[in-house]
Structure 1
Amino acid sequence: MAEREPSAHQLAFDVSSGFMDLGVPEYSYMYGFLQMDGHLSRQSRDRGRMTVEINIRDIEILRSFQKLTPYNSTISERVRSTNFATSHHSAIWTLCSLEARTKLNELGLPYGRKSQQIKPPRVPFSRPDYLRGVIDADGSVGYTKQGLPFVSLTTASTAIAAYFCFYAKKITGASRHPGRNERDAIYNILYSKEASQALAAHLYYPGCLALERKQAAADSLHAWVRPPGMKTSPHHRRWREWEDRILLGHSSITAAAEELGRSYQSCQLRQWRLRTGRVSMPE
């Protein structure tokens, strides 16, 4: 299959002069994607490889990574049976360069199992591009069965989950305080309706490097209009430690609710979460 010509933004800088310079939007995106879907492995005598395996439908993003990498790398295909399909066709990008692997490792991409260890970069980086790479690899963009727009992320990393929520609040105003689910200890973070529209428009800006299908899905979200009569949920008021102390210090939930200016139901739920360990007790 013939490779496409590099797009204009991929030719806007010399890839040989600053591989994985996270000040470059394309490299921030690439690093976010590799953190979630890439795997670094090593053997004796400095041998090793970086591999990314994705569905064949998204092979173009691997070709973009190959063009952005000034080291020899290969893209291969394979068909195998999985738990989800009897015939899964995938594309695999393989990069063996020790220099490239060292750079990625120094940026914070660990060798071996990494799902709970990964964190946002410790060096300056392009935030929307980095998070778009994270979403493209381990998130979803589109519409629910009920026809509501959404942007979501699934991750095992506390640091990634916290940073995504922190950044998304700056863009959307919507607060999220996720916990790990009980089944597989994963964070599932969801933004819907107007919040998802704002987030998608910010992350998936025109001309950015992205999975084509997710770019198309993000572009489609702007068409949604809240139906007449659909109520708007107010932003939730976050609990503070001093409020928790007042709540726990009262023998009556009614009295605590009155002092805090909160509803009885809100105080009752918060007290249950504190006493059952769902949230941390105040210091």
Structure 2
Amino acid sequence: MSPPPTRDDVAKAAARITDHVRRTPVIESGAGSFGLDASICLKLEQLQHSGSFKARGAFNTLLSGGVPTAGVAAASGGNHGAAVAYAARALGIPADIFVPETSSPAKIARIRSYGATLHIGGARYADAAEACARHRAETGAMDIHAYDAPGTIAGQGTVALEWLEQTPDLDTVLIAVGGGGLISGCALWLSGKVKVVAVEPEGSCALHAALEAGTPVDVPVESLAADSLGARRCGDLVHTICSTHVAESLLVADAAIAEAQTRLWRELQQAVEPGAATALAALTSGVYRPAPGERVGVLVCGGNVALDTIAA
């Protein structure tokens, strides 16, 4: 296992990718929004290139050097693949993206729009990962892991660096977790400054299970948010970082996720995928109850969703 990245790696990643990613906005919900007494700060990372925060990790990895002539290959539930495809196109690098059959049509269409070679097969992310590994062994293509790699984690951590510059008075941030690359990078940067709370669907909770077991373990995956938060097992680096730097790990029901997704559209006109509504669901369902005066931030992490899905 590679050594975990550090706060210094996050700072270097921010400098490396600054010309290639958007500085995404933060907004205040306003008191009373989402049925909450106090206003919360939302970081709108679904407005990032490729529709999610994952462009940060993809650019950081590709710009760190050592890309072979065979290009890059990535397995993904959808968002990571779109990010790698986008970054590869921007840098003139060939990319092969492997996704399971459960990936949403919106995410598949986005990957195709960036010109990557798309491979669809298997019922789960793990199936796509196995196909991707075979491709890399045959071609020598470079791997960009979706969450458990130092370059990915450091790149995702730039979200927190940027957020804290924009909103320096945060007490607590709620972050949705799939494989854990995003929360790991953010927790590295925020450690000792801001409390970091992990939020996962009840039916897809790889990090929560790992923290309880003291080591990464396989979990069943069955959730509305599985196409973005559907990792069967969190990574070793993720577990090492989160076991030290994440304060709480919470679970929310799919019904709460769907309600939060709908409320983001109705109250803020933000179209997001279920995974991106998962952190907010911890607040709207009462799973997380802020203390009086606690300044809470919610990371909205992905917007690759078809509008007819939200309407339904």
TM-score range, shorter chain: 0.3 to 0.5
The TM-score, its normalising length taken from structure 2, stands at 0.31
Structure scoring higher RCO (CA < 8 A, sep ≥ 6) equals 2
**Structure with the higher helix share, 1 or 2:** 2
